[in-house]
Structure 1
Amino acid sequence: MSYLLKPLQIGNLTLSNRLVMPPMATARSKEDGGVSQEILDYYDEKSRGGYISLIIIEHSFISQEGKASKNQLSVADDSVIEGLKKLSEVIHKNGSKTIMQINHAGSAATEEVTGKTPVGPSAVSNPRKGTIPHELNKDEIKGIVKAFGDAARRVKEAGFDGVEIHSAHGYFLNQFLSPLTNKRTDEYGGNIHNRIRIHLEVIKAVRESVGEDFPVFLRLGASDYREGGTTIEDSIIASKEFERAGVDVIDVSGGFCGYVIPGNSEQGYFSPLTEAIKKEVSIPVILTGGITDAKAAERLLEEGKADLIGVGRAIYNNSNWAKEAIESLR
């Protein structure tokens, strides 16, 4: 049997195959972050036929100060739950499972979008944005940890099959993870165990909000591919701690390099990261990055590089990609 077509059980979540649509920002939400007809139509089209076993909804802001961009989806207050229910229902009706990615932009936010001063672990320039944030105190950190927990509860109430915590692409949690932006000298800075302290607090808050039987994923910017940034050695330690803390799946991507590796366009370019992490954890690992061909996806699974394959741009550009890929392997 094809590796891509094998089902996978994650707690009480049954995936029909190993194909995942990773979170990709669409800027199709209402201005206030509410679910629009345009966003319902988009996910309806992508999930049709249920060929993609799991659709991860684009990063959604947990609080106004953490909003990354205009027309970003919101999970910031209870008023959005009804709209989000429609979104989960559209995808379920088509036969796919779906989880939501929750995020705070930290120093990647702009005052123009949020109306507030950007915040971060340290008052140092964001390598991707150039903004210098307000350095958070411990009470402010607690407030953001609570906002992640509250957002996860809303995701569950809206009928999704799980939730993904975003710590990649240079956003808030990634800013604590990376030595490029975390220069703190308290218990939230310094060695890797201190730099992931906030992650463990977020995981705990999310778990307490959703209970033990609701799948929790974490998207990890496993390397910055920059001098002085996060390394795979850091991320192996982090992934083991996340598993111990109750994370069900590690979804690997880039850190401050974003979702690309400069100068590398091979299919599955993050596979050295996923392979290294997969050897050290017993939970499933998702690989994304430049995969456009079903045979490449099949080969990466066969070689043990990952347990699930995320195909982003190819599905974004062609809504029939998953159908064609799966039929080609049957």
Structure 2
Amino acid sequence: MSQLLKPLESGRLVLKNRLIMPPMATAKSEKDGKVSREVLEYYDEKSRGGYISLIIVEHSFIEQQGKASENQLSVAEDSTIENLKKLANVIQKNGSKAVMQLNHAGSAALTEVTGSIPIAPSAVANPFKGDMPRELTKKEIKDIVESFKKAALRVKKAGFDGVEIHSAHGYLLNQFFSPLTNKRTDEYGGDVNSRIKIHLEIIKAVREAVGNEMPIFIRLGASDYMEGGITIEDSKIAAHEFEKAGVDVIDISGGFCRFTLEDNTLPGYFAPLSEGIKEVVSIPVILTGGITEVKDAERLLLEGKADLIGVGRAIYKDSEWAKKAFESLR
């Protein structure tokens, strides 16, 4: 039997196959971050036919200070819920499950977008963009945890099937996890367990918001691929703790290297990371990156590199990709 066509059942998560669409920013929302007609049309087109088991909606800001870019989706206000319901419904009526990704940009935010000085674990410039940030106070960290909780509750009220916490691509939670940008000397800085303290607090708060039935995903930048940055050994410790804290799925990507590797364009180029994480957790692991051919998705699953395969840019370019893939397998 095809590996890609196999259903998956793991705790709170039940999927009809192993193909997911990872979050990809569209910059199609309204100016205030509300779901626009263009957003609804985009996700309708991508989910049509229900071939993709799960669609993770693009990163959405949890508060104004964490907004990454213009026309980014928002989950920062209760006023967004009504249109988010339409988005969840569009995806679900086409036969796919819908997960919403929550994000805070931290030092990757720009003052001209947010209207305020960027914030970060430490006053360290973001390696890939942004103005010099100021260091967060402990009270502000608690406030951010609360913002994640409120955003997760909005996602639940909107009828989504799950929620994903974004800790990759150089955004705030990646900044806390990475020794490159976390120079704190309090309980939120130092060793791996201290650098993921905020993650564990957010996971606990999100679980309180969504209840026991809804799956929680975390997108983990499992390596910065930079000297002095996050290593796979750090991420193994973190992933083990995330599973213990109640995370249902670990979605592997890059840290400050973001979602590509300059010197590696092989299909599934993050496979060494997902394979390493699978060694220490029993929950499903998602692998995304450079996978454009069905045969590569099949092989990576067969080799045990991951439990779920994310196909992003190929589906972005061709909305019929999943349909053609499954027709070729049947």
TM-score range, shorter chain: over 0.9
Q: Which residue identity is paired with 1:60?
A: S
The CA distance in 2 between the partners of 1:43 and 1:224, in whole Å, is 30
State the partner residue of 2:88.
88
Where does residue 196 of structure 2 map in the other structure?
196
Matches within 5 A, 1:139-178: 139-178=139-178
Q: Greater shift after overlay, 225-234 or 7-16? A: 7-16
Equivalent residues in 2 for 1:82-231, closer than 5 Å = 82-231=82-231
8 Å contact from structure 2 (residues 163, 216) kept in 1: yes
TM-score after normalising by structure 1: 0.99
Among the aligned pairs, what percent are the same residue?
Answer: 72
CA distance in 1, matches of 2:111, 2:132: 11
Q: Which amino acid aligns with 1:161?
A: D
- Partner SS, residue 49 of structure 1: coil
Q: Offset of 1:213 from its aligned partner?
A: 1.2
Shift of 1:13: 3.4
Does the 8 Å contact 1:177/1:196 carry over to 2? Answer: yes
What code does the residue aligned with 1:242 have?
A: F
Structure 2 residue aligned with 1:288: 288
Three-state SS of the structure 2 residue aligned to 1:81 is helix
- Which residue identity does 2:235 align to in structure 1? S
What amino acid is aligned across from residue 306 of structure 2 in structure 1? A
1:17 is the counterpart of 2:53: no
Q: Which residue of 2 aligns with 1:274?
A: 274
1:217 counterpart SS class? strand
Give, in whole Å, the separation in 2 of the partners of 1:246 and 1:99: 17
Distance 1:132 1:271 in 2: 33
Number of the residue aligned with 1:246: 246
Q: Shift in Å at residue 10 of structure 1?
A: 3.4
- The residue type equivalent to 2:9 in the other structure is Q
SS in 1 for 2:100: strand
d(CA) in 1 for partners of 2:74, 2:24: 14
Is the Cα–Cα contact under 8 Å of residues 10 and 215 in structure 1 kept in the other structure? Answer: no
- C-alpha contact 1:250 1:283 (8 A) present in aligned 2: yes
Amino acid at match of 1:265: T
Q: Give, in whole Å, the separation in 1 of the partners of 2:308 and 2:154.
A: 26
- Distance between the aligned counterparts of 2:7 and 2:179, measured in 1? 38
Between stretches 97-106 and 10-19, larger displacement belongs to 10-19
1:178-200 deviations in Å (ceiling 9; x for gaps) = 00100001100010000000000
The answer to whether the 8 Å contact 1:11/1:213 transfers is no
Could you tell me which residue of structure 2 aligns to residue 328 of structure 1?
A: 328
Deviations 1:134-158 (A, max 9, x none): 1001000000000001100100100
Aligned match of 1:236: 236
Q: Distance in 1 between matches of 2:98 and 2:298?
A: 22
- Report the residue type matching 1:214 in the other structure: M
Alpha-carbon distance in 2 for matches of 1:132, 1:181: 12
Runs of 4+ with deviation above 4 angstroms: none
Distance in 2 (CA, whole Å) between partners of 1:99 and 1:129 is: 27
The alignment's C-alpha RMSD in Å is: 0.7
1:299 is the counterpart of 2:299 = yes
Contact kept in structure 1, 2:178 and 2:230, CA below 8 Å = yes
Separation of aligned partners in 2, 1:271 and 1:13: 22
Are the aligned partners of 2:85 and 2:158 in contact in 1 as well (CA < 8 Å)? Answer: yes
- The alignment partner of 2:48 has SS state of helix
Distance 1:130 1:49 in 2: 40
Distance 1:227 1:60 in 2: 30
1:244-270 deviation per Cα after TM superposition (whole angstroms, max 9, x unaligned): 000000000000000011111000000
Tell me, in whole angstroms, the C-alpha distance in 2 between the residues paired with 1:285 and 1:158. Answer: 26
Q: C-alpha distance in 1, partners of 2:95/2:289?
A: 25
Deviates more, 1:69-78 or 1:124-133: 124-133
Determine helix, strand or coil for the equivalent of 1:46.
Answer: helix
In the alignment, structure 1 segments of 5+ residues that lack a partner are none
Shift of 1:131: 2.3
Aligned-partner Cα distance in 2 for 1:108–1:210: 28
The residue type paired with residue 129 of structure 2 is K
Q: CA deviation at 1:130?
A: 4.8
- Give the residue type in structure 2 aligned to 1:94: N
Structure 2 match to 1:78: 78
Aligned to 2:311: 311
Distance in 2, Cα, partners of 1:258 & 1:30: 26
User: Does structure 1 retain, via aligned residues, the 8 Å contact 2:109–2:130?
Assistant: no
